Structure 1
Amino acid sequence: MTVLLVEDDVGIGRFVSQGLAARGLSVRWERSGREVTGLVAAGAINLVILDLGLPDADGLDLCAAIRAMEIGVPVLMLTARGSLDDRLDGFAAGADDYLAKPFAFEELAARVDVLLRRDRDRKPDPVRFAALRLDPATQDATWDGQVIDLDPRGFALLLALARAGGEVVQRLTLIENIWGGDTDITDNALDVCASALRRRLGTSAPRLRVLALRGQGFALGLRQAADLPPT
């Protein structure tokens, strides 16, 4: 389990990161808010411990930005602002818990345990690529808010490519994602699946391109508006 600690105070940051690491957690410590949304969007974070008073950002704004991306990772606000109004502002921004400084590490650790258990049970977050939105929990796919009608295999292929963010996904990886690991599916079946997906996207999301790279795999790309046929 990986915790993203966002804290500019060196003493508190070292105290918290070392304490959580001693409990077997992986801790990524950031001293500013610059990388927070990108790290969370990458999908490898199970909990964010977020200070409100950062040198380059307001923690409330960062929390709200995470929620605006439809990312449900638990957020624990860790701050010197401890009034009732401050706590209510934190919850309104999307925080799951709020701990005022100074604090006992044992209390922090107990709250972290609760939030990590919650993270294990949460549904997967929607995946986005440009105007594409894919919901793994419901298998709903939309482009710019318009529904894309996909069969389960087409959705699985598009989801794997969208998660790669435009990078190449190897053929074997795609076959395992779509048909499972114990299968005798051939490359030809994957090509057929990709062709069917292209036809669906050609109607509902013509800017999306499913690119085949010889000897490698597939990637998701975008057509420029000038390259689209006139409507």
Structure 2
Amino acid sequence: MRLLLVEDDRMIGDSLRSALRLEGHAVDWVRDAAAAEATLSSERFDIVLLDLGLPKGDGLDVLRGLRQRGDRTPAIVLTARDGLGDRVAGLDAGADDYLVKPFELDELNARIRAVLRRHEGRAEPLLRHGAVTLDPATRQVTRDGEPVLLSAREFAVLEALMARPGALLSRAQLEDRLYGWGEEIESNAVSVYIHQLRRKLGADFIQNVRGVGYFVGGGTPKP
């Protein structure tokens, strides 16, 4: 998935970006409120990780602006502000969750998964289609109960498709989930990952509409 990290502390930001990339996420990072507002106005993300104490503005104002525009992008506040009033203000401003620093990466990952489940309207933590099951928490995939070994980017492509069964995702949309700013996009990378997934999961598991995109699920694909 593609994440926007809004964090002014260089050490924390660099550490979080590196750790989240190791989880297979595409992570873009901005360091002030003005950059966050400009980025969120022009680009789409699966989730926003938002510090509150920022240069050039406050994270709460960024969050309020996001919601006032009708943007439903899930947002998790990551902040040192630990007072009850701060937590209430963050949630009332539109945050989907509120995590106080310092925190463990495992907890952040669990909260990201929980927020995305709520956003997608599903309670079941596992993603299933046909004989294939994907567990976002353990990053394990099985087919007919047997484990299937995937690379981090193969997993990211499969998770994006299985999270929205029947939804048609273009190559550009899948690339957004694989690469952050400054990362070189490999030529035909998505096609290569789709080919590898079909080889491991079955030739018909991932379907495509030529020149448009890919989808998982039967019937007519949805935009």
TM-score band, normalised by the shorter chain?
0.5 to 0.7
Percent identity at matched positions?
Answer: 43
In the other structure, the counterpart of 2:87 is 87
Q: How far 1:117 sits from its partner (Å)? A: 3.1
In the other structure, the counterpart of 2:114 is 114
In the other structure, the counterpart of 1:8 is 8
Does residue 69 of the first structure (1) align with residue 82 of the second (2)? no
Give me the whole-angstrom Cα distance separating, in 1, the residues matched to 2:37 and 2:2. Answer: 15
Q: How far 1:41 sits from its partner (Å)? A: 2.7
RMSD over aligned Cα, in angstroms? 1.9
Give me the whole-angstrom Cα distance separating, in 2, the residues matched to 1:60 and 1:93. Answer: 7
Q: How far 1:109 sits from its partner (Å)? A: 1.0
Q: How far 1:57 sits from its partner (Å)? A: 1.1
Give me the whole-angstrom Cα distance separating, in 2, the residues matched to 1:118 and 1:29. Answer: 24
In the other structure, the counterpart of 1:56 is 56
* Contact 1:39 1:45 (C-alpha < 8 Å) held by counterparts: no
* Contact 1:49 1:77 (C-alpha < 8 Å) held by counterparts: yes
Structure 2: 5+ residue runs without aligned partners? 123-208, 211-223
Give me the whole-angstrom Cα distance separating, in 2, the residues matched to 1:59 and 1:42. Answer: 18
Higher relative contact order (CA 8 A, sep 6+): 2
- Give the TM-score normalised by structure 1: 0.50
Q: How far 1:120 sits from its partner (Å)? A: 4.1
- The one-letter code sitting in structure 2 at the alignment partner of 1:2 is R
Give me the whole-angstrom Cα distance separating, in 2, the residues matched to 1:13 and 1:109. Answer: 15
Q: 1:31 to 1:43 in 2, by over 3 A?
A: closer
Deviation track 1:29-75 (CA, whole Å, cap 9, x = no partner) reads: 10111122232233421111000000111111110010000000011
Q: How far 1:115 sits from its partner (Å)? A: 2.1
What is the aligned residue count?
Answer: 124
In the other structure, the counterpart of 1:102 is 102
Give me the whole-angstrom Cα distance separating, in 1, the residues matched to 2:120 and 2:22. Answer: 21
Determine which structure has more spread, i.e. the larger CA radius of gyration. 1
Give me the whole-angstrom Cα distance separating, in 2, the residues matched to 1:89 and 1:25. Answer: 29
* Contact 1:47 1:119 (C-alpha < 8 Å) held by counterparts: no
Give me the whole-angstrom Cα distance separating, in 2, the residues matched to 1:119 and 1:21. Answer: 22
Give me the whole-angstrom Cα distance separating, in 2, the residues matched to 1:119 and 1:14. Answer: 27
Deviation track 1:63-108 (CA, whole Å, cap 9, x = no partner) reads: 0010000000011000000111110000111111000011111111
Give me the whole-angstrom Cα distance separating, in 2, the residues matched to 1:27 and 1:117. Answer: 19
